[in-house]
Amino acid sequence: MGYIIAHDMGTSGTASSLINLEGKDGNIEIIDSVIREYDVIYPQVNWAEQDPFVWWKTVSENTVDLVKRTNLNPDDVDAIIPATQMDGTIPIDKTGKPLMNCMIWMDSRAVEQAKRLMDLTTTGAMLKNIRKIYTFLKITGAGPGPKDILSKILWIKDERPKMYADTYKFLDCKDWLLYKSTGKYITSRDCASVSWILDINEGKMNWSQKICDLAKIDMEKLPEVGDSTDIVGELNDEAANEMNLKPGIPVINGCGDMSAALVGSGAVRENEVHLYVGSSAWLIAPVSKRLRKIAVMTGTVLGPDPDKKYMLVAHQESAGACLKWIRDQIGKDESYEDLDRFAETSLPGSHNLIFTPWMFGERCPVQDPTLRGGIFNLSLDHTRADFVRSILEGVAHHVKWMLKGVEELLARNKGKVREINIIGGGASSKIWCQIFADITEKIINSMENPFQAGSIGAALIAGVGLGKYNNFDALKEKVKIKASYKPQTQNKKTYDKLFKAYLKIYKSVTGIYKELNR
């Protein structure tokens, strides 16, 4: 029997799963999963880092535990595949040593570098930089913000020039795991495309010398680019020893967490939409052509499917992280289930209490690293239940804001959104699923194994790479719906009123946040 070991490495921890692609009745079977958590390091305001060695230690220890707990025979492992957080920047020297912690996707220190590359702050700035903007749009599909890899590489070049000179390769988070596993410096096209250095045009799909020249970075410092389904090498002796496996196991290139989630959500066919709700949130749909609308910071990047090359992405910076912050900082040792029960005792609309979930800036439909969270219209009449429910509703209001842009773009591709598959930790909350349905006015399908969607998606991608499946469309039947939530029309008037207020709040406070958090 052949198994896949999938490592779903996120911001707050890594879930490593042993998966049988041909379990009972031909369905996917998760034999066991091991989860270890770790912290984000915040050295300064707007900085967010993690130690790559902590990631590797976590992945290795998780694998050792999987082998021990399942009595796994290493000969039965068909492949190993990583699926990780994206937009990380790790400078590596020629010996493979990281020269600093990874600047993860939350890190927005490279504000000035992003502005220098693609200034969209004012109409005047856009007109002044129109040629640069056009070049980025034509080649990469969008352009770098302060949290993106190209801007962070430039930050290193500007602020730490010796480190830049000593850098042999700049690796993303997944690329580091691949290097430790195989000794290869390689990335996947989906991860490379959100660096805004990759040419995503048909027939290109590789690093752009023109973008490198424009940004004045050295293209030879970038890793090789391959497909997510590629076998990039074999597990080396050192890695095998640390994982209690045998050398020679095929290692699949893998993908970013968004690509794995797309496959693990079951929404793999043209124009189908899934919503991920974890620390952050996103809406994604696979499409066969490039789509974008800069005004709402929504567009296509490369996905894992070679037939439907692109995925339309709208990314929300903070979602479940808001609920976690409340639980950890001002809670009373409640579980998430306890918070759900609190929220259920409030009414739809939380008695007109509005929470804005911009707790670490925002990417879409506005890109502004200075935005921060807030609670509005708070009175002495409000309860903890109102407060908790308003957090769930605030995240859903932001999803609705993003969905408007997604729907407009999918309409250009002859798509119409009637239902959305939901995965991630948020999918386990029945009340949150219903709130999403009510606020977005879409059917919300909660998928089976929503926590393991990333691992399932990664394992299915490995299955394509190993030749077990002919194409990505065939993967839809492998992922099952657990429950569906229909919009409750009696709540429409309340939520429409609050959504209008939510948008007005953004317009009224954005200037204040710029002054406070510049």
- Per the CB < 8 A criterion, the answer to whether 376 and 505 are in contact is yes
pLDDT computed for residue 412 by the predictor: 97
pLDDT at res. 518: 80
For residue 330, what pLDDT is reported? Answer: 87
Are 176 and 98 members of one domain? yes
- Counting the structural domains of the chain, the total is 2
Q: Tokens for 278, please give them.
A: 């974890």
CB 225 within 8 A of CB 204: no
pLDDT tens track for 347-360: 999 999 999 999 98
Whether residues 246 and 337 fall in one domain? no
Which residues partner with 255 through β-bridges?
Answer: 83
C-alpha 178/C-alpha 170 separation (Å) is 13
pLDDT, tens digit (0-9, with 9 covering 90-100), for 44-83: 999 999 999 999 999 999 999 999 999 999 999 999 999 9
Is 47 inside a domain boundary? Answer: yes
Mean pLDDT of the chain: 95
Helices (H), 76-193: 111-117, 123-128, 130-140, 149-159, 161-166, 173-182, 189-193
Res. 494 pLDDT band, cuts 50 70 90 = very high
Residue 63 covered by a domain = yes
Residue 66 lies inside a defined structural domain of this protein: yes
Q: First and final CA of the chain: distance in angstroms?
A: 56
Task: Kindly tell me the burial class for residue 450, based on how many C-beta atoms sit within 10 Å of its own C-beta (0-12, 13-18, 19 or more).
Answer: buried
Beta bridge partners, 102, equal 50
d(CA 499, CA 369): 22
Quote the domain boundaries for residue 368: 320-399+491-517
Joined together, the tokens standing for residue 517 give 């958090």
> Do residues 505 and 368 both lie within one domain?
yes
Task: Tell me what percent of the residues of the chain surpass a pLDDT of 90.
Answer: 89
With respect to residue 111, please indicate whether it lies within any of the assigned structural domains: yes
Nearest one of 175, 150, 151 to 226, comparing CA atoms:
175
**Residue 340's domain is classified under what CATH number?**
3.30.420.40
pLDDT at 507 over 80: yes
* pLDDT above 90: residue 12: no
Statement: residue 14 has pLDDT above 80: yes
Q: Are strands 250-252 and 255-256 parallel, antiparallel or unpaired?
A: unpaired
Asked whether residue 103 falls in the same domain as residue 205, the answer is yes
345 in Cβ contact with 385 (< 8 Å): yes
For residues 506 and 376, the answer to whether their CB atoms sit within 8 Å is no
pLDDT digits (tens, 9 = 90+) for 118-164: 876 677 877 778 899 899 999 998 889 899 999 999 999 999 999 99
One domain, residues 50 and 128: yes
Residue 127's pLDDT is what?
Answer: 78
* 221-247: pLDDT as tens digits: 999 999 999 999 999 999 999 999 999
In a domain, 89, yes or no: yes
Mean pLDDT score, 357-374: 94
pLDDT digit string, tens, across residues 188-208: 999 999 999 999 998 899 999
* Greatest Cα pair distance in the chain: 64
Tell me the backbone φ, ψ of residue 183, rounded to 5 degrees. Answer: 80, 5
**Which tens digit of pLDDT belongs to each residue from 251-266?**
999 999 999 999 999 9
* Any domain includes 338: yes
What residues form DSSP beta bridges with 446?
Answer: 422, 483
> 72 and 174, same structural domain?
yes
The per-residue pLDDT for 1 is: 60
In the predicted model, is pLDDT for residue 416 greater than 90? yes
Of 234, 253, 272, which residue constitutes the final position of a domain?
253
Let me know if residue 260 belongs to a domain: no
Task: Judge whether residue 373 has pLDDT over 80.
Answer: yes
Residue 475 within any structural domain of the chain: no
